[in-house]
Structure 1
Amino acid sequence: MLETTITNDTLQFLNKLQKNNTREWFADHKDRYKQEEAKVKVFFKHVFEKLKAHDEIERLKVFRIYRDVRFSKNKTPYKNSFSASYSRAGLHRRGGYYVHIEPGKSFIATGFWNPEKDDLLRIRKEWEIDTAELLNIIEKPEFKAVWGKLIGEELKTAPKGFDKEDPNIEWIRKKQYIFKRSFKDTEILAPDFADQVNESFKCIRPYFDLMSSILTTNLNGESLLD
């Protein structure tokens, strides 16, 4: 039976990679990398199967460990992490899931990282009218216990065409709508970590349902998918 948990061997390899982030070291330890990558892929697939029990997921993407250093100040050639994303199926399902495994910095995230221009305007127009539904979801104690506060980049003032005195400007000026949950190494090594990830993602569904409804309708509530 394949192991479906994150192991300490994986964290140890990533720690060594962080201290020896060179092409020479990596080439000498390529076999070990392949072993750890294979194990982590089993874990990501395990989470994928759990997600499919309560959501429609069309794709699992495991990110490459090789870094694109062309436009980065950090020129180390490899990431110190394993990560994967899960795409929801269909135009009427918006949002996605992300899992990041890194010693001392593991987390899961979900939401809307960089909405397209039209989507961002539609979201802002919705908040200009009313944020009651949004707040009713994300301010619930059981939701905040899992995900905390909404995070992401935001403007310092009102976007063009919006009133800086709008009572909902706190939400209108946001450029990203993200939730993030961090985990300690002891937590990601626990046998129930995949269940913790899955239950956390299940908890986000009311938020996804609201945002999907907004992004697939106009301000009159008429479908944009017909």
Structure 2
Amino acid sequence: MSSGFAGWPQAALDFYAGLEVDNSKAYWTAHRAVYDEQVLAPMQALLADLEPEFGEGRIFRPYRDVRFSSDKSPYKTAIGAMLGKGGYVRLASDGLAIGAGAHMMTTEQLARYRAAVADPAIGDDLESAIADLAAHDIGVVVEEQLKTLPRGFGPDAAHQELLRNKDIAAWKAFPIEPWLHSADAADHVAEALRATRPLTDWLAAHVGGHEPGSSRKGR
């Protein structure tokens, strides 16, 4: 995979390490050129590489919505982007990560998810998809889970752990390696996103559409 993308320089990681310490307008203003040239521009180039296979990318704004948060830090400590055909890419001071799955399912999506999970055969397919992710060193994250089974499902329901989920996503965080600073990073991202397809295909078939990405770490 090749284009103008040449990886992220160390300066991109250093930018976010500094922002974690000093999340202020003064820091942002002083380092805005670093963000534009060393963080944002490589993400734009990466998304251009990924677009033919994964769809058009959309980069999240760097500013936090603090209206309803007790944390008034104005800036996100990561750059994240959603991909049009499903997937999420994030860069922060601790490196690169990808995600894909169903985040914040609608009421209708959640109802379809639960009905599918409760079907023994279809629920088994989801278990198999999760096992396939593990075989590719990709984890599954659930950000919100009920303490008990949802209403309408009894103690004999199949796949009870999965039934309690209100979201489900594949997530892989890469350790910082020399390839992060090279064009090879695009291949690592693409390979990992392809490996999430057992989960995203299951969701597309039984829940209805992809809700790419995850809210984890600075979305």
Q: Which amino acid aligns with 1:159?
A: P
Residue 84 of structure 1: how far off its partner (Å)? 0.6
User: Aligned match of 1:161 in 149, 152, 164?
Assistant: 152
Higher normalized contact order (CA 8 Å, seq sep 6+, divided by chain length): 2
Partners of 1:150 and 1:20 in 2: CA distance: 29
- Which entry has the higher C-alpha Rg, 1 or 2? 1
User: 1:205-224 residue pairs with structure 2 within 5 A?
Assistant: 205-216=197-208
Q: Does the Cα contact within 8 Å between 1:62 and 1:85 map onto a contact in 2? A: yes
CA displacement 1:168-225 (0-9 Å, x = unmatched) = 2111111011111111222662532211110111112222222212135xxxxxxxxx
Aligned equivalent of 2:216 = none
Query: Normalized against structure 1, the TM-score is what?
Result: 0.80
Secondary structure (helix, strand or coil) at the match of 2:187 reads: helix
Q: Gaps (5+ residues) in structure 2? A: 209-219
Residue 134 of structure 1: how far off its partner (Å)? 1.6
Question: May I ask how many residue pairs the two structures share in their alignment?
Answer: 202
Distance 1:123 1:189, change over 3 A: same
Q: Does the Cα contact within 8 Å between 1:99 and 1:108 map onto a contact in 2? A: yes
Aligned equivalent of 1:170 = 161
CA displacement 1:30-73 (0-9 Å, x = unmatched) = 23322222233222322x23xx33x5x2x311011111111112
Q: Gaps (5+ residues) in structure 1? A: 89-95, 217-226
Partners of 1:33 and 1:78 in 2: CA distance: 12
The structure 1 segments of at least 4 consecutive aligned residues displaced by more than 4 Å after TM superposition are: none
Residue 119 of structure 1: how far off its partner (Å)? 0.9
Residue 22 of structure 1: how far off its partner (Å)? 1.0
Are 1:125 and 2:115 an aligned pair?
Answer: yes
Instruction: Calculate the aligned-residue CA RMSD, in Å.
Output: 2.2
CA displacement 1:93-127 (0-9 Å, x = unmatched) = xxx21111001254211100111101111110111
Secondary structure (helix, strand or coil) at the match of 1:180 reads: strand
Query: Normalized against structure 2, the TM-score is what?
Result: 0.82
Partners of 2:141 and 2:13 in 1: CA distance: 29
Distance 1:206 1:25, change over 3 A: closer
